[in-house]
Chains A and B, each alone.
Chain A
Amino acid sequence: MPESSCSPCCQPASIGKKIIMALTGLVLAGFVLGHMAGNLLMFKGPQAINAYAEWLHNHPEALWIARVILILSVVGHIWTGILLTLENRAARAGGPAVDATRRASISSRTMPYSGIVLLAFIVFHLLHFTLRKVALGDKDFGEDVYAMVVFGFSSPVVAVFYIVSMLLLCLHLSHGVSSVFQTLGLRNERWRGRIDLIATAYGWIVALGFISIPLAVLLGCIK
């Protein structure tokens, strides 16, 4: 058998790419759950969330290690996602003139699109609450994360964008999480239904947790 011209690292096999997708996805899915749980401190009041933010800033090493892992995961996830999408389009050769889908879920078919919107969301979100460059006016919130969030979501346009993005995250996660099991070979017909259910539930828990905050601000529950 002919030897491969390139090492498996720079040109991973199809399954290799899937494994990269699954592992980076797993990191990101775990992150959003943790992030969401932290965010819920908003409901405990300004002290809780501000203390949490302060604690994070007091551990810069841990924060940066997490950030590096996240950045690597995001880059790996996006890069592999783009490769997969382009290769798959080419392999399909246009597809049949009549489209008939028997089983593929909406979430599975919209992964690249939900992914692109989520990328845009992440950029906006980082500019918004991490770098504080957009949609916050000229105010300086200092250490008062609570006030910043309340002010940030007081704009209905921004809040709705967050809510819509989180619904897309739910869609993305419901296919992504169950795919992690499939790609790592941890799924079979007997467990498929249950794993799909877990994945959907996971997506909804994360999304509803995130959505609860802008919604609460919009509805005036958090001031």
Chain B
Amino acid sequence: MVKENGNSDQHGHTLSLRLRVWRQNRGQPGHFEEHFLAAVPETASFLEMMDMLNEQLIREGKDTFAFDHDCREGICGMCSMTINGMPHGPLPGVTTCQLHMRNFRDGETITVEPWRARAFPVLKDLAVDRSAFDKVIQSGGFITVRTGSAPEANHTLVPKQVADEAMDAAECIGCGACVASCKNGSAMLFVGAKINHLNILPQGQPERERRTLAMVKTMDEAGFGNCTNYGECQAHCPKSITLDVIAKLNRDYLRARVKEFFSSTGKPSKGGE
């Protein structure tokens, strides 16, 4: 894929594509629509190819395909398309916006679908509602610190190894490819990443158990499936977050449950709190 000569005067090759794209209005059943698109430069990104398709549809007076996208540099986590069955497409470790057309063949048929999961209902065409992720964070994905109440930054020592590990987990961009790729529609990689980021830092310790139980509870209520250790999430994660975060989430959950069970508050235990 690496070209030695970036200086060529030609625009490079172009592709002609047959596109099967999902069309759906909110609350209604959907279907595939077929379109042909010619002269797609292989230097274009996948979303730029979709822009070209939409421009073609506008010229034809037809409705465009709605899809989510924003930063187009692989960090905001908004883009979400299942391309030939693979969330974010065939190239591992990148988001849809960073997938370029040189990864496809001339004449290829490409099937483009939204994220498919019960917890992510389709809003229109390729755009889905991922607010379930926000709800999980709202239930505990934070460290409680009011503005102005923070101690001097260097008062808390964080060993480099711990900071690096937290950062590995914190790289999650919340795109939802883990859910879309999971054959169970499970959100464990996302929740695991979020919980790990905060649970391993010293600042996150006071709320560790509370956070874990609350976030898992919200995750379950949102209608995500259960993890059965397929590993598809890791294989499709654009930030290559590993199943380690799920293993550690499991451990933290078990620990929190046991601690809760033996807690000495004198009150009967109530689930999830």
Contacts and interface: CB of A to CB of B under 8 A. Distances in A.
Interface in A35-90: 84, 87-88, 90
B41 interface: no
B229 A179 contact: yes
Sort chain B's interface into a size bin: 35 or more
B247 A186 contact: yes
Nearest to B179: A91
B166 to A, nearest CB: 15
Given A8-B257, A13-B216, A103-B232, A92 B183 contact: yes
A17 B247 contact: no
B257 A97 contact: no
Contact of B243 (A7, A88, A102, A182): A182
Contact of A192 (B181, B185, B243): B243
B92, B113, B188, B244 — most chain A CB neighbours (10 Å)? B244
Sort chain A's interface into a size bin: 35 or more
Interface of A: 1, 3-4, 6-8, 13-19, 84, 87-88, 90-105, 108-109, 111, 175, 178-179, 181-189, 192
A92 B247 contact: no
Interface stretch (B7-15, B78-86, B94-102): B78-86
Contacts, number: 164
A7, A94, A100 — most chain B CB neighbours (10 Å)? A100
Interface stretch (B47-55, B155-163, B234-242): B234-242
B271 A87 contact: no
B86 A109 contact: no
B251 to A, nearest CB: 3
B253 A1 contact: no
B117 A4 contact: no
